[in-house]
Every structure is written in structure tokens, then in C-alpha cells.
A and B are shown apart, each in its own frame.
Chain A
Amino acid sequence: MSEIKKTLLSSAAQESIDRWMKRYPADQKRSAVLEALRIVQEENGGWLTVELMDAVAEFLEMAPIAVYEIVSFYSMYNVKPVGRYVLNVCTNISCMLSDSERIVDHIKKRLEIGINETTADGRFTLREVECLAACAAAPAMQVGKKYYEHLTPDKVDAILEELE
């Protein structure tokens, strides 16, 4: 109530968001919300706190609830801490028909975690996602910006070893 709130956004984040905002009409700052959240999430080690979401809302002159709606809608945003690598395994129809369940089970066993859980060393988080639009190469998984296709348990082992 008393103090004027200082924004939590770093100046680097503010600058990048400002750059994105230039692409949209001045009275529609909210158009930059997806990018803004991505930038802020990346800076915060892969997840968003309520305070950060509020800061984005304030920066873009949106109601906080509108930002919560977006964050909770898209699976790319995390509201809890995640591991360094988030293993997004597709279990939608094509992958399911190509036995994605086997892939999920294998990862669970190997890393000793369940879905939406993170390994004790903070390295991996396992997640089930809907169609990654890689049906032709099912079963598929996305880690960061990279796609891994035609997965088999052996292939998964090799990938996990590679990811430090």
C-alpha cells in the first residue's frame, strides 16, 4: 500500500521485452506476453514465480490473472522449479501407437522419478506432453529446443548420458 513497487524484472529482461514490444501497436503491449514470459522464465532458471508473473503483468499493463491464465495454459511455462533438462515425452496418439509408454516407463525406471518429478541431483524433470507435431518420427521427445525422434530405450540411454 505504501511504497511504490520496484519491478523484479532485470534490466536485460526489460530491454528484450521492450524490443519485442516494438513489433506491436503501442496500445497493445499485452501482445508481447508470451515472449516476455519466456525471457523471464529463462532468466530465472526455467520457471516462473507468482512475483515474476505479477511483474510481467505490471510491465505489460495487464491484469495479473490474465498472465496466470496464459502461464497455466501453455505447457512451456513452469510454475515450479524444474531440472536442468525437461524431458517432454509425447504420449499423444501417434506416439502412443508407437509405444511411447515403453519410453516413459524406461525413463521412470532409469531416473527413479515419476511424471512431473525432478531427479534428486536437479538434472532431469520428466513430463508427458501432447502431440509435438513429430508424428512421422514417433515416438518423440523434446528437450529444450531439441527434438529426439524414433526413440528406443537404448537411444534414450544415450541421450541422457549426453545431457550433462
Chain B
Amino acid sequence: MADIEIEIDGKKLQANPDAMVMQVADAAGIYIPRFCYHKHLSIAANCRMCLVEVEKAPKPMPACATPVMPGMKVFTRSAKALAAQKAVMEFLLINHPLDCPICDQGGECELQDLAMGYGPDKSFYHEGKRSVKDKDIGPLISTEMTRCIQCTRCVRFGAETAGFRELGATGRGERMEIGTYIQHAMESEVSGNIIDLCPVGALTSKPFRFTARAWELEQYPSIAAHDCLGSNIYVHTLRGKVMRVVPHENDEINQTWISDRDRYSYEGLNHEDRLEKPRIRKQDGWQETDWQTALEFATQGLQRVLNAEGGNELAALASPNSTLEEFYLLQKLLRSLGSSNIDHRLRQSDFSDQETSPIFPGLDMPIADLENRDVIVLLGCNLQKEEPIASLKVRKAALKGAKIIVVNMMDYDFHFNVSHKKIIAPHQFVDAVKELTNDPAIAEIVRNAKSLAVLLGAQSLNHLESSSIRFYAEKIASLANGTVGLLTEGCNAAGAWIAGAIPHRTAAGKPVSKIGLNAETILTDARKAYILLNVEPDLDCANSIAAINALDQAECVIALSTFKNPVLEQFADVILPVAPFTETSGTFVNAEGKWQKFKGVVTPLGETRPAWKVLRVMANFLKCEGFEFESSEKVREEVHELFLQGTAGASSPRPSRKEHPSPAALRASTSPTRGEVRISRVGEIPIYSGDNIQRRAKALQATQPIIEGNVAVVKIHPLTAEKLHLKEMEPAIIKQFENRIRLTVIFDTRVPENAAYIAGGITATSGLSQLFGPVEIHKA
């Protein structure tokens, strides 16, 4: 429909005929006061703060709920409009406690701001005020419900956006309250957004509470460092300390939302585990020292191994959350020393198709486009937990009618409707994916898809036969010319591939002459020297037990780490404290291939240094050439230059499907034959156990059991338990090859038969060797 013309405050404006006055005013930069209206929520029109005068209308109209009409004349600041707005404000303040001096929202409160503009400076109200008993909705959000003005933004966010209706308005009239009715903690993984939405101080951040005033904080843009979306954030700091994280609006990625993980993980940055000084291992234990000594010690150790054994005995593992610049320098260092044994795919086990992979793994489409897909196939993916913001988009697609088909190793309760699902044990998973479209109903949906997306989550990528899953995923996608998206773990897997932190290619996808060992073989085929970049070997590696053993036997282990870790303390020779993303500059490349730069927002803690500088100096010490970078920016430029050259020739960074080796050929190389397996492990990573920062974020750690219960257990289907003679709540011995651990049995009907949920990424299970491999379970 053609635009119509309306007039607001004498300004002629073009408006979409479906728009509300508020939307047109916002687009034109005319501010109308509001509380309940939010551009990403439905219109409730319950606060009445947005009353404006409309020509020929007898009464003031709420701008947020008044559709535009041709020739309409709106006055937002006329005497009539202002009188109406002031009257509404007076009513809103009747029951508000006006406790701004002790309210955390003070200084960033919409009510406070508007009361400044519209509130009378004297109250005529002498009667008693309403007060509301306070609630406890969990470790993340503080409540002070007496301050609530009942705009219902928080309720609508839960019902519409998060798809998890936990808050509601109970009671009636003056006794109406916002709450959960039955006291319980919020379980949504994006719950923190209601803090930003709440226009008053009713909902505030619990970990941040009473620690700073909004006007003291400095605000810096940054990029969230925990999932492959790379949500845009603002980091708020006070006197050199990160105080909190809030969303930075970006319509292409996270809109106005961020996940709780991205919001609250900052607590880990200030954890007491932070290393502040370099340490070297002496005969009598650890010794703190200066950088010069530590680096000399490290490089001499390395040089000894290199002299004696050559570069092939050197290997490096890096966290997938490292920056592009760190990945690049690490691989450049390794390759200058004659080794290609480098990887960041720490939890993966199947690398057999790596040579035919695109330059970097990713979504293969813009993130924002997810909500426009009409068929989405999720393979091995707990989307809501792995990529909460992507999940909001899939939910939007589902609400618009998209069909969601799921093949998973646990029956997750998603916040979107699933039209077909297959829940199957890991060792039967590949066949289920292969045969997915044998189901006529599913085949019909997939074939008729107008825009099909097949998404592989962490569980597919970490699966023992992940290359086969990729192969069949491509087959499914090819039925309707769809895309295959890989939702990689960590925030910068794409950056790692581009920078060359992989054994078979150097920067920008250039193949190496001799392919190095991968994340798995680096550990099982133990090396003499290791460089670790922010790796917690017991928690970050699929084969945690091999990681521990490999480090144990190595002659030289150089750990660049932000945090203390017991395994590093036991086996490393040097521990160099390196800066987390808030204390260094760098680049993360997200799943859609977007390079997002960020700067350090606080100075590094103690003597911590940015890892890119440490790697550069190590290279200088080892007399490697081509490491004369003055800034991380220069490193990035070099990678970017190579990337442009590397992709210039290729028409598409995606290989043709024919190039993939067939799964039969691949399967021969992967370990256990599926026929023999009776029970396989579902090695899911619990929601807040993914990386070293979130593991140390207190409020998130307190929330994890609320969402997932105790994760240090083995969860099995009651039918499987019966076969194995296991009783609930009793201890069991879990055996994987020659390794054994002990866990309590919990019955869970979400686990398929012949499978056992045994989480990865936690200490209790670091004695095992495969996240999705076979296990034997016996009564203890």
C-alpha cells in the first residue's frame, strides 16, 4: 500500500497506512513519552503516558495504539496533550514509592526521567500508598515490585519473545501484581532482558545491585564472547572494573536483546581465579616472576624440544573464544617453527571432511534471515541453550508458520512448536539423519520448502561421525536448494578457520603441504611440547582424559591463560596471564562471517597482557620472522589482506557437494563400529559450562541448576535403566574404554533409549574420553 501523509507537530510526514502514530513519530525523531510501548513487543496501550491530541478527536488518543489516517493532524506538545500526559503521570506516581535515592534504576529510569518533565513538583496525594510484597525470581534479577507501574512489558516479553510465560499479572484492580504467583526462579535463558525493558526500578540486575550509579559508569561497545552470533554489547565500567553488560542494539544480529550468558558472564572476569603475574615451575614449585624471565623460560623450554625433536613435536590448542589476531599469531608462530599441529575445535572428534570444508564454518546466510525461513531442520542442536538469540529468531519463524523439524539426542522442550521430531541415541543418529526424508510427511515438508535452512548444533559438530551428519545435512538441504548452517561452539570458530588455527590450512584457507594433527590426535598422539591458549584441558577438550595424560608426559607446556586451572597448575611449566576480551583489542568473526572489531574496555588486570602481544614477543624471542606488529590492528590487516586474496579466486567459499567424501569412506576412519554399541553418551555441555569465563560467573552458576538440575549425574530413560538394572538416585559406574567414573542415576524420559546423558565441560566427567562415544553403565 502506498504511504499516506500525516502531520505531527506541524511536520508533514509519510507514513505506512498500517503504522501507529507512535511509530511514525519515532521514525521522524519526535519523542512521545511512553512506558508500555516497546517496538519489539505487542501493543498493550495500558499506561496512557503517550496521550496526544489528534485534530477532530474529542479526547486525547494513545499514540501507541492510534492508527494513522490520511491527513491526520497530531499534536504531541499542545496544551491539551501536555495536560493529559501530566494527568497520567500524576496517577502513575500515586502508588509509586518515589524511592529514587535507594533505587538501582535511579539515573537511568524512564519514570524518573518523565517525572522530571511531566510530574508536578508537589503531590496532592495524602492517602496511603499501595505496597507489594517482594518476590524472589532467582539469582539474576532483583525485584522491588512496589515500584512496578504495571506496564506489562516484562509479561509480554516472556509470552511473545522468550516464549516462556513465567510472569503474569495476578489479582485485580488495585491489588493487581506482577509476579510468578507461585514463587520460583525464572528459567528462561534470555530473562535478563526484562531488566532493560522495565521502565522503572521494579526489575534490576541482582549481581550489579547497589554497586554503582548509572552516571558514574563509562560505556564501551564490545562484542559478546560466548556464542557464534557475536551479539553486540555495551560494557559498563567503573574505575577500571567491568561492572555490567547490557545489549547494544544491532538489528542484524541481536536487535535489542542479549542472552543471560552474554549479560552475566562478566562476573567471571572479576573472579579470584584471575592470574595476575607470570609463573614458572621451579624444582620447588611455582614461582611468580616478571615477564622477561617467564618468556625466556618458556621459549628456552620450547627451543630445547625443537632442537632435540624438531617442530613436529610441538602442538598448540586454542580456545574457540580467542581473537582472530591471537589465532593468527599462534598459527604463524607454530608454522614458523615447523609445526601444523594446531587446532581450536577442542570438543570435536571427527575431522575427516576438513579438507573439503568451506573457508570457514558458519550459518551460510544472514542471521536476521533465520526468522524468514519457512522450514528449519535442527540436527543435534539444543538451540535455545547453545544460541539463545538465534533461537528467538527460529521462534519468530515458527510463529509466522515455519515448520521446524528436529533430530536430536535429547527431547528438548523448545519454545517453538516442532512439527516433527526424532529423538535417537548418538550411535543411531547418523542413520536417523540419513533416513529423515524417508518419512513421507517430512519429505513433503522439506521438498516444498521455499526457503529451507538445515542447522547443525554443537551436538552434531561434536559427534563422532560429524562429517557424515554434515554430508547428509547437505543432502537434505539439496532437496529444496536450502542452506546448511553450522552453529559452532565459542564465539570465533569462523575467525579460527580464517586465521589458520587448524591443522590443514593456514590463513585464508590456504592448504598446507603437510597436514598437522587435529584437536583429537594432538592429545592422543601426545607431543613433547604444548602451547595452550586459554584452554582448560579437563573441561574444554572432548577427550579430557587424553588431554590430562598428554600434558602429564610432555616436556614443555606453555599455558597462556586468563584463569587458574588445577590441571595447568599440575602440568604446565609456564603460566602466562593473558587478557580476556574486555582487556584486549581484537576481532571476532561470527556465524554469518561478519568481522566485528572491539577494543579493550579496561586495562589488563595486574600484569596480565593481551595474548597477541605475548605471542608476538615469544616469536621475537624465538627469532621467527614477520612478527613486527605494533598493534592488533596491524595483525588484523595482514589477515584481512590474505583473506581478500584467498577468496578473490573462489566464486563461493562453499565446496560443491560432490567434493565431499562419502560417509562410508569416512566411517571406516571413525572409531567404534556402531553395530556393537549398546549405550552411547550424550555429552551435552550444560548451559553455563561452555568456557572459562562463564564457568566463573557466580550468578550464572547459581542459575544453571535451576534450569537443568544437577548436571553431574547420569540421566537415562527408565526403560534403559530397567534393562541395566539401575535404580533412580543410586550410584552407577560409567565405563568408557578403560576409564571409569561414578555418577548418580537420574531417570529422564527426555533421553532416548540406549543413550545416557553424561554432560561434558564439568569436572565430574573429565575422566571420560568421548562426548558421544559408547559407554557401559553398571550398578556401583
The residue in B159, B165, B718, B746 that gathers the most chain A C-beta atoms within 10 A of its C-beta is B165
Residues on B with C-beta less than 8 A from A65 are 165-168, 170, 180-181
Cβ-defined partner of A72 (8 Å) among B172, B180, B747: B172
Residues on A with C-beta less than 8 A from B181 are 64-65, 68-69, 72
Beta-carbon contact of A72 and B170 below 8 Å: yes
Beta-carbon contact of B169 and A69 below 8 Å: yes
> Whole-angstrom distance between the alpha carbons of A1 and B411 in the complex?
12
> Whole-angstrom distance between the alpha carbons of A74 and B169 in the complex?
13
Cβ-defined partner of B168 (8 Å) among A2, A69, A74: A69
A68 and chain B: residue at smallest CB distance? B181
B316 to chain A, nearest CB (A): 41
Beta-carbon contact of A63 and B165 below 8 Å: yes
Residues on A with C-beta less than 8 A from B748 are 1-2
Residues on B with C-beta less than 8 A from A3 are 747, 749
Q: Is A158 an interface residue (CB 8 A)?
A: no
Known contacts A65-B165, A65-B181; decide if A4 and B749 are in contact (CB<8 Å). yes
- What 1/0 mask marks residues of chain A from 58 to 74 whose CB sits below 8 Å from any chain B CB? 00000111101100111
Residues on A with C-beta less than 8 A from B180 are 65
A30 to chain B, nearest CB (A): 12
Residues on B with C-beta less than 8 A from A69 are 168-170, 181
- What 1/0 mask marks residues of chain B from 733 to 758 whose CB sits below 8 Å from any chain A CB? 00000000000001111000000000
Residues on B with C-beta less than 8 A from A74 are 172
What is the size, in residues, of chain A's interface with B at 8 Å between Cβ atoms? 14
> Whole-angstrom distance between the alpha carbons of A65 and B748 in the complex?
25
Beta-carbon contact of A2 and B709 below 8 Å: no
Beta-carbon contact of A2 and B749 below 8 Å: yes
Q: Is A12 an interface residue (CB 8 A)?
A: no
Q: Is B665 an interface residue (CB 8 A)?
A: no
B643 to chain A, nearest CB (A): 47
Residues on A with C-beta less than 8 A from B709 are 1
Beta-carbon contact of B749 and A66 below 8 Å: no
Residues on A with C-beta less than 8 A from B728 are 2
Known contacts A1-B709, A63-B165, A65-B181; decide if A73 and B172 are in contact (CB<8 Å). yes
B729 and chain A: residue at smallest CB distance? A2
B675 to chain A, nearest CB (A): 30
Q: Is B440 an interface residue (CB 8 A)?
A: no
Cβ-defined partner of B746 (8 Å) among A2, A4, A68, A73: A2
A78 to chain B, nearest CB (A): 14
Q: Is A133 an interface residue (CB 8 A)?
A: no
> Whole-angstrom distance between the alpha carbons of A87 and B279 in the complex?
78
Q: Is B171 an interface residue (CB 8 A)?
A: yes
B715 and chain A: residue at smallest CB distance? A1
Q: Is B57 an interface residue (CB 8 A)?
A: no
- What 1/0 mask marks residues of chain B from 39 to 82 whose CB sits below 8 Å from any chain A CB? 00000000000000000000000000000000000000000000
Q: Is A50 an interface residue (CB 8 A)?
A: yes
Q: Is B648 an interface residue (CB 8 A)?
A: no
> Helix, strand, loop or mixed for chain B's interface?
loop
Known contacts A4-B749, A50-B182; decide if A68 and B165 are in contact (CB<8 Å). no
> Whole-angstrom distance between the alpha carbons of A1 and B718 in the complex?
12
Residues on A with C-beta less than 8 A from B167 are 65
Residues on A with C-beta less than 8 A from B746 are 1-2
Known contacts A1-B709, A2-B718, A2-B728; decide if A66 and B747 are in contact (CB<8 Å). no
B708 and chain A: residue at smallest CB distance? A1
A50 and chain B: residue at smallest CB distance? B182
> Whole-angstrom distance between the alpha carbons of A68 and B184 in the complex?
14
> Whole-angstrom distance between the alpha carbons of A69 and B176 in the complex?
9
> Whole-angstrom distance between the alpha carbons of A1 and B706 in the complex?
12
Q: Tell me which residues from 702 to 731 in chain B have a Cβ below 8 Å from any Cβ of chain A.
A: 709, 718, 728
Residues on B with C-beta less than 8 A from A63 are 159, 165-166, 168
A94 to chain B, nearest CB (A): 19
Known contacts A1-B746, A2-B747; decide if A68 and B718 are in contact (CB<8 Å). no
> Whole-angstrom distance between the alpha carbons of A3 and B748 in the complex?
8
Beta-carbon contact of A66 and B165 below 8 Å: yes
A73 and chain B: residue at smallest CB distance? B172
Q: Tell me which residues from 68 to 106 in chain A have a Cβ below 8 Å from any Cβ of chain B.
A: 68-69, 72-74
B154 to chain A, nearest CB (A): 12
Residues on B with C-beta less than 8 A from A72 are 170-172, 181
B159 and chain A: residue at smallest CB distance? A63
B343 to chain A, nearest CB (A): 37
Beta-carbon contact of B747 and A68 below 8 Å: no
B32 to chain A, nearest CB (A): 29
Q: Tell me which residues from 13 to 53 in chain A have a Cβ below 8 Å from any Cβ of chain B.
A: 50
Beta-carbon contact of B171 and A73 below 8 Å: yes
- What 1/0 mask marks residues of chain B from 145 to 174 whose CB sits below 8 Å from any chain A CB? 000000000000001000001111111100
Residues on A with C-beta less than 8 A from B172 are 72-74
> Whole-angstrom distance between the alpha carbons of A69 and B172 in the complex?
9
A70 and chain B: residue at smallest CB distance? B170
Residues on B with C-beta less than 8 A from A68 are 168, 170, 181-182
> Whole-angstrom distance between the alpha carbons of A70 and B746 in the complex?
36
> Whole-angstrom distance between the alpha carbons of A99 and B748 in the complex?
61
B593 to chain A, nearest CB (A): 38
The residue in A50, A64, A66 that gathers the most chain B C-beta atoms within 10 A of its C-beta is A64
B308 to chain A, nearest CB (A): 55
B417 to chain A, nearest CB (A): 11
B175 and chain A: residue at smallest CB distance? A72
A33 to chain B, nearest CB (A): 13
Residues on B with C-beta less than 8 A from A66 are 165, 168
A65 and chain B: residue at smallest CB distance? B168
A127 to chain B, nearest CB (A): 14
The residue in B182, B746, B748 that gathers the most chain A C-beta atoms within 10 A of its C-beta is B182
> Whole-angstrom distance between the alpha carbons of A63 and B188 in the complex?
14
Residues on A with C-beta less than 8 A from B170 are 65, 68-69, 72-73
B46 to chain A, nearest CB (A): 14
> Whole-angstrom distance between the alpha carbons of A1 and B749 in the complex?
8
> Whole-angstrom distance between the alpha carbons of A63 and B158 in the complex?
11
Q: Tell me which residues from 167 to 226 in chain B have a Cβ below 8 Å from any Cβ of chain A.
A: 167-172, 180-182
> Whole-angstrom distance between the alpha carbons of A74 and B172 in the complex?
8
> Whole-angstrom distance between the alpha carbons of A30 and B217 in the complex?
47
> Whole-angstrom distance between the alpha carbons of A68 and B169 in the complex?
9
B157 to chain A, nearest CB (A): 13
A74 and chain B: residue at smallest CB distance? B172
A141 to chain B, nearest CB (A): 21
A69 and chain B: residue at smallest CB distance? B168
Residues of B within 8 A of A (CB): 159, 165-172, 180-182, 709, 718, 728, 746-749
Given contacts A1-B748, A73-B171, 17 further A-B contacts (CB under 8 A): A1-B709, A1-B746, A2-B718, A2-B728, A3-B747, A4-B749, A63-B165, A64-B182, A65-B165, A65-B167, A66-B165, A68-B181, A68-B182, A72-B170, A72-B171, A72-B172, A73-B170
16 of the cross-chain contacts (CB-CB < 8 Å) are A1-B709, A1-B746, A2-B749, A3-B749, A4-B749, A63-B166, A65-B166, A65-B167, A65-B168, A65-B180, A66-B168, A68-B168, A68-B170, A69-B170, A72-B170, A72-B171
Which 10 pairs of residues, A with B, have the shortest CB-CB distance?
A63-B165, A65-B168, A2-B747, A68-B181, A72-B170, A69-B168, A73-B172, A72-B171, A69-B170, A68-B170
Residues of A within 8 A of B (CB): 1-4, 50, 63-66, 68-69, 72-74
